[in-house]
A and B are shown apart, each in its own frame.
Chain A
Amino acid sequence: MDLQERYADDLVLVRSTGGRVALGVLVAALVLLPVGASGYLIYTASVVAAYAVIAVGLSLLVGTAGLISLGHAGFVAIGAYAAGLLAAKLHLFWPAAIVGGGITAAAFGYLVGLPALRLTGPYLTIATLGFGIAVQQVLSNWEQLSGGRNGLFLPKLTLGSWQLTDRHIYYVAMGTLALLVWVAYNLLRSYVGRALVAMRDSDIAAEVMGVNLTTYKTLAFALSAFYAGVGGALLALILGFLEPQLFTLSESIYYFSMIVVGGLGTIPGAVLGAALLTLLPQQLAQTRSWLPIIYGSILIFVMAVDPLGLFGRWMKIRLWFKAWPF
């Protein structure tokens, strides 16, 4: 849409001054949010950040690499429990535990990615579905590991002997989101991103052209699982308590809805979808029982009518304004 004269222009993340100002305002708003905001708001914002991390990861897998995963809650659960156990049993510093959770989930992502090499389309969908449910079942029943249905209580965030509050948790969550979004953007602009897109469009053709499918498929899963794991770890930190009930099939479908509604394959879409699907139910108190119907209709509508989702809508609006008066 904009004329680019040098490769550097293509690489830069924020091009125009307008964009830079908007970004600055956003960053300022997010940093200043906890000042004078209620605990409820801080909590909700932290939860949105955690879900946004998960959504971005899922978007990388589904939207960019074209691999379907209906069992993402499994990776989230693994990350959450891994981080929780690291913090609770090994008394690891929480940010380190979060990274640990992400890495554990990424390892499982790699393992799931291996059979994914042989599976396509419907088979992959079903395999990931099975994986997600199996993870939840194992966590429910393996009490020594996860506390089973009794749940797992987690320690609070501490820095040395200093106990930190909800505000600090918010900053950890938002900071992690910002960092991971930045990484995702960079990834997409690099050869990795291009390889993933090539894989999505036609994997056999991509392999013929030199994109090593084994590497990139497992990478896509591992990366996406890492994000999911980190998101799960953040949820664990925010909630302070884990129970397998948090990671059911409905949750996997929920994450899916986030990226669909926001716009499949786009990062801002994923964040927007996460925010919307977390905030809207809280705001629509009266229409509670209609919520599943509304969700379902939105999914159908987006896919059937406007696959680009909300973000696509926004882009179209912008494009209309830019191209005005034609």
Chain B
Amino acid sequence: MTVVGRGVAGALLVVLLLLSASVQSQERGVTPTEVVIGTSQPLTGPASFWGIPVTGGMDAYVKLANEGGGINGRKIRLVALDDGYQPTRAVANVRELVESTGVFAIVGLLGSANAFAVRDYMVEKKVIWINPLADASMWTGFKGKQYLFVTYVSYTDEGRLLTEYAAKTLGMTTFAVFYQNDLFGKKGLTGVKRGADATKTRIVATVPYEVTDRDYSGHAVKLRESKADAVVLYSTPTAAAQVVKEMAKIGYRPRLISTSALADPAMFALAGEAWNDVILAAYFPLPGTDSKVDEVVATIAKGNPALARAPINAVAGVSFVEPFLEGLRRTGPTLTRDKFVAAMETIKNWDGDVVRGVTFGPDRRHGVTRIYIVKTEGGQFKRLTPDIAYPVGF
């Protein structure tokens, strides 16, 4: 045999591997005793600090439901696949979940890039999708939301409301925006711009950063240069903590306004004394402010102690899967996709353990369109406003 022959034999092995990949197939996710749901998260790589606790939270909450006997006689099985934050793998995972594992619904899926990549496929295959973890305003105007249900926040609206609050109630006149150089940050920036326009205030500096940046001293100097009254933060905890500390070092202490993504108790440890009197948005009760949420954290941390280190992400994970479980409850024993959708549409102003005031409807797929504002004080969150609603986009 020749070089080619050897290559051929090797490749045959590969074909066999490929075929083995499609051997396991089931009915699309529903049996009399089980419902299968899937998620694709970054469980390895730089985004895993988010993906691991979120998946942990989802998994723990599902286990909790199963311990109570399941829902309508069915246990829920969560299949979590790792995509390392890569769109090619996210697409592969979703296809595997839908076609190979056979899931009834996909819950979560982190990243706008990944969400965009799988969007059309999800619509084509009519897959129930609960809470893609990307800025919610990406769905406004999108056709094909029949099977989509979102309780995740819209960063554009959040940014706008935060800015308006800061301008009207706190009297800020100039803003500088520190944002992550991707869709998350940019949508926040768009929101802040809209808020500034609406209140006739000015944005005097926009300072982007890359997720891999480790040195924020330059960014801090730039922000100080702008002499803004307030700095709006649309970033990850690491970046925010660093830039806040750097700003404090060079003697710049503006009012800090921040996205809900930073309403993380870990920020107190990371940013230290600089993280006091910070204005934050939130769209569900934060750990330490609500007994039900704290109970949930305690229960899920029992089975998985690592979750106690990242309570906000674990709680977020719970909030993503909660609406799905409620939908299951309301559908009753016969479970089909359309019955599920109909059941979800009956949810009006529902309070779950974590997520509150969820409303869906035949024309409404964005379940939570409110935020409220808190501020940090002595290592705790103090609520400042009642819920502020924003227009329902979809």
Residues on A lying within 8 angstroms of B by beta carbon are 2, 12-16, 18-19, 22-23, 25-26, 29-30, 33, 37-41, 43-45, 47-48, 140-141, 149-151, 153, 185, 235, 239-241, 243, 245-246, 250-251, 266-268, 271-272, 275-276, 279, 281-283, 285, 288-289, 291-292, 310-311, 314-315, 318
Let me know if A149 and B4 touch, CB within 8 A. Answer: no
- With A33-B15, A149-B186, A245-B87: A292-B44 Cβ-Cβ less than 8 Å: yes
Report B59 CB to chain A, min CB distance, Å.
13
Residues of chain A with a CB closer than 8 A to B99's CB? 38-41
A–B pairs, 6, beta carbons within 8 Å? A19-B5, A22-B9, A245-B87, A268-B7, A275-B11, A282-B92
Q: Please give, as numbers and ranges, the residues of chain B lying within 8 Å of A39 by CB-CB distance.
A: 95, 99
Could you tell me if A29 and B15 are in contact, using CB atoms closer than 8 angstroms? yes
- If A33-B15, A41-B21, A268-B11 touch, whether A22 touches B5 (CB-CB below 8 Å) is yes
B376 on the interface (CB 8 Å rule)? no
Q: Is the CB of A311 within 8 A of B2?
A: no
The secondary-structure label for the interface of chain A is helix
Q: Which 10 A-B pairs have the closest CB atoms?
A: A268-B7, A19-B5, A40-B95, A40-B99, A275-B14, A243-B113, A149-B182, A22-B8, A15-B2, A38-B99
Residues of A contacting B17 with CB < 8 Å? 275-276, 279, 283
Is the C-beta of B256 less than 8 angstroms from some C-beta in chain A?
no
Nearest neighbor of B12 in chain A, beta-carbon distance: A26
- Checking B44, B79, B98 against A289 with a beta-carbon cut-off of 8 angstroms, the contacting residue is B44
B1 touches A19 (CB 8 A): yes
**Residues A40 and B96 in contact in the complex (CB < 8 Å), given A30-B15, A45-B18, A282-B21:** yes
Question: Quick check: A15 and B1 within 8 Å, CB to CB?
Answer: yes
In Å, the complex CA distance between A243 and B86 comes to: 9
Tell me if B117 is interfacial: C-beta within 8 Å of chain A.
yes
Q: Which chain B positions have C-beta within 8 A of A48? A: 14, 18
A26 to B5, CA, bound (A): 10
Known: A16-B2, A39-B99, A45-B18. A245 touches B85 (CB 8 A): yes
With beta carbons under 8 angstroms apart, the residue of B11, B95, B113 that contacts A272 is B11
Q: How far apart sit A297 and B21, CA to CA, in the bound complex (Å)? A: 25
Proximity string of chain B (21-36) to chain A, C-beta cutoff 8 Å, 1 when within and 0 when not: 1100100000000000
Contact B5 A15 (CB under 8 A): yes
Q: Knowing A149-B182, A289-B43, A291-B44 are in contact, say whether A279-B1 is a contact too (CB < 8 A).
A: no
Is there an interface contact between B18 and A318, defined as CB atoms closer than 8 Å?
A: no
Assess A315 versus B6: contact at CB under 8 Å? Given A40-B22, A285-B81.
Answer: yes
The B interface, classified by DSSP as helix, strand, loop or mixed, is helix
Q: How many interface contacts (CB-CB < 8 Å) are there between A and B? A: 170
Question: Which single residue of chain A is at the shortest CB-CB distance from B184?
Answer: A149
- In whole Å, how far is B294's beta carbon from the nearest beta carbon of chain A? 28
Which of B12, B14, B17 neighbours the largest number of chain A CB atoms within 10 Å of its CB? B14
Q: How far is the CB of B100 from chain A (nearest CB, A)?
A: 5
Q: Are A47 and B44 in contact (CB under 8 A)?
A: no
Please, which residues of chain B bring their CB within 8 A of the CB of A47?
88, 92
Q: Is the CB of B12 within 8 A of A25?
A: yes
Please give the distance in Å from A219's CB to the nearest CB on chain B.
22
Residues of A within 8 A of B14 (CB): 48, 271-272, 275-276, 279
- Alpha-carbon distance A48/B89, docked complex (angstroms): 12
**A239 / chain B contacts, CB cutoff of 8 Å:** 87-88, 91, 117
Interface: B45 (CB within 8 A):
yes
CA gap between A199 and B88 in the complex, in Å = 36
Chain B residue contacts of A283, Cβ below 8 A: 17, 20-21
Closest CB-CB distance, A245 to chain B, in whole Å? 5
Please report which residues of chain B, range 76-105, place their CB below 8 angstroms from some CB of chain A when the two chains form the complex: 79, 81-82, 85-89, 91-93, 95-96, 98-100
User: B10 in the interface, Cβ–Cβ < 8 Å?
Assistant: yes
A314 to chain B: which residues have CB within 8 Å?
6, 9-10
Contact assessment for A14 and B4 in the assembled complex, using a CB-CB cutoff below 8 Å: yes
Query: Is B183's CB within 8 Å of the partner chain A?
Result: yes
- Per the bound structure, the CA–CA distance linking A112 and B389 in Å amounts to 54
Bound complex: CA of A268 vs CA of B4, how far in Å? Answer: 8
Within 8 A of A (CB), among B146-195: 181-183, 186
Q: A288, B4: Cβ atoms under 8 Å?
A: no
Q: Closest residue of chain A to B180, judged by CB?
A: A149
Alpha-carbon gap, A282 to B11, bound state (A): 18
Q: How far is the CA of A268 from the CA of B13 in the complex (A)?
A: 12
Point out the residue from B8, B21, B45, B81 that lies within 8 Å of A26, measured CB to CB. Answer: B8
Residues of B with C-beta under 8 A to A141: 181
Chain B residue with Cβ nearest A283: B21
Contact between A44 and B92 (Cβ–Cβ < 8 Å)?
yes
Report the separation of the CA atoms of residues A89 and B79 in the bound assembly, to the nearest whole angstrom: 39
Given contacts A19-B2, A22-B1, A245-B85, contact A271 B11 (CB under 8 A): yes
- Please determine whether B11 and A279 come into contact, CB atoms closer than 8 angstroms: no
* A38 to B85 alpha-carbon distance, docked (Å): 24
Closest to B52 in A: A289
CA distance A71 to B236 in the complex (A): 28
Contact of B10 among A19, A153, A289, A311 (CB under 8 A): A311
- Which of B1, B44, B95 makes the CB contact (< 8 A) with A18? B1
Q: How far, in whole Å, are A315 and B14 apart by their CA atoms in the complex?
A: 17
Are B4 and A18 in touch, CB under 8 angstroms? no
State whether the Cβ of B49 lies closer than 8 Å to any Cβ in chain A. Answer: no
Q: Which of A150, A289, A292, A315 contacts B183 (CB 8 A)?
A: A150
Q: Which of chain B's residues have a CB closer than 8 A to the CB of A149?
A: 113, 181-183, 186
A140, A153, A246, A291: the one contacting B86 at CB < 8 Å is A246
Q: Which residues of B contact A140 (CB under 8 A)?
A: 181, 210
Q: Chain A residues near B117 (CB, 8 Å)?
A: 239-241, 243
Contacts of A292 in B (CB 8 A): 44
